[in-house]
Amino acid sequence: MAEPAPTSPARAPVAVGHPVGADFPCFDGLRAIAALLVAVTHAGFISGYVGREPEIGQFVARMDVGVAIFFVISGFLLYRPFVAARLGARPGPPVLPYARRRFLRIAPAYWVTLTAVLAIPAIQGINAPDPTWDQIAAHYALIYTYHPRFDLIPVQQAWTLATEIAFYAMLPLYAAFMARRHGTPRTMLRHEFAGLATLFGLGLVSRTIVLFGIDHGGWRGFANLWLPARLDHFAFGMALAVASVWYREQSHEPAWARSRAFPWVSWGASIATFWYLSVGLALNHRFDRDGDGVPELVLGRPVDFSRAQEWWLLLLWGVVGVTAVAPAVFGRQDQGIIRAALRWGPVAWLGVISYGIYLWHEAALDFYLRTWDRVAFGAPTNQTFFFMFVFTIPVAALSYYLVERPALALKNRPVGDWFRTAPRTA
């Protein structure tokens, strides 16, 4: 075991048991925004709205940035206990309970959704192929993004869960490596940011290799979903965690973080970056790839995204994510209109059930297309969006109250006691 790092007399150690969620009441609101953004962009593509109404559709198309917000949130919330323990000269969170919590958070609700989509024809994707057993196994294990032959996509947005799981596995190893870097608190702070700069750089280098160096088969598309090509998004969140521990636990927040203007400036930067992604990168220009005079779209997207465009798109995704999340990390969380909106009861409740919204909205869209005999990319926009939300939100609530919350209630019980009706007594 590594020796405790020396602490500065000017700064008290951070309590390792500090409850992360207690001081960050805006995060449920952020989860709600991220889940709804992803749902809206998928409805926009599947209904054909993105292609029919390019002026507004170009913004709907880029609402997939909600994925980056989720990645930044994960980087912040999961790394914060590790860095708080390190800067407080205490042992980090034990790995097995950490792994058990991550499993219970992801797997049960996802398995229920996947089983339903595979078993109920009405919510399967249009023209869904018959799955093979190895495809089914790869999807249940969330390893299907690691080889093109597993590509079936019954719950297509679940690729982000595979990326999240890779991050969950990497994080304790990275934290253990950082825990061996000793010194004064300021020296350790420098080590933290140097390590995160390295992760950020690895993310950019990995993405560059994937986008510009891989052409064989379907590998480029799959490798671009893997953790290395998305590390910069998680690194943004981890950097917020380091700064949060330093400012809020080791010292005092600077004047800019306490300013009432900070949430507006941060969200202004997020919105401006989102606008540039939607308009400035020209991602929704249509291309006539085969020379037949008809511009082609795939799911409403231009088929000829350049690799440079995609590189910048994903980098700026992270900028949108970190600037959207920052006001929920720094400053008084009971101050200002933006934070009040994030904490507002209905928004916060949507955040509580946001995982179910994320998992079920595609099934809702497929059910609408099949039941009302609609044509993908040609369905009525208003009906598509209305049905998606009317179907998804109640199902997401059921997922939370009947599957997710009971599963999370097991997080502090030994695995051997999960199927008992009551905890084992002495």
Q: Is 200 helix (H, G, I), strand (E, B) or coil?
A: helix
Domain boundaries defined on the chain: 20-126+164-286+293-413
**Per-residue model confidence (pLDDT) at position 90:** 83
> DSSP secondary-structure letter at 254?
-
**Per-residue model confidence (pLDDT) at position 78:** 96
Angle at 170 between CA 31 and CA 160, to 5 degrees: 40
**Per-residue model confidence (pLDDT) at position 424:** 45
> What is the value of pTM for the model shown?
0.88
d(CA 229, CA 311): 10
**Per-residue model confidence (pLDDT) at position 251:** 67
Quickly list H helices, 285-376. Answer: 307-325, 337-343, 345-352, 354-371
Of 203, 307, 211, 319, the closest CA to residue 272 belongs to 319
* DSSP letters for 282-299: -TT--B-SSSSS--BEET
**Per-residue model confidence (pLDDT) at position 250:** 63
Q: Is 193 helix (H, G, I), strand (E, B) or coil?
A: helix
What is the per-residue burial (b if ≥16 Cβ within 10 Å, else e) of 171-180?
A: bbebbeebbe
**Per-residue model confidence (pLDDT) at position 398:** 97
**Per-residue model confidence (pLDDT) at position 284:** 66
Give the CA radius of gyration of the chain.
Answer: 22
One-letter amino acid of 153: I
Q: Is 114 helix (H, G, I), strand (E, B) or coil?
A: helix
For every one of its 426 residues, what pLDDT tens digit does the chain have, with 9 covering 90 and above? 343 333 333 333 333 333 445 579 999 999 999 999 999 999 998 888 888 888 888 899 999 999 999 999 999 999 999 999 888 878 888 999 999 999 999 999 999 999 999 998 888 876 667 788 888 999 999 999 998 888 777 888 999 999 999 999 999 999 999 988 887 888 888 999 999 999 999 999 999 999 998 877 678 888 899 999 999 999 999 999 999 999 876 667 888 988 999 999 999 999 999 999 998 887 765 543 444 444 445 444 444 578 888 899 999 999 999 999 999 999 989 999 999 999 999 999 999 999 999 999 999 999 998 888 777 777 888 889 999 999 999 999 999 999 999 999 988 776 666 656 544 443
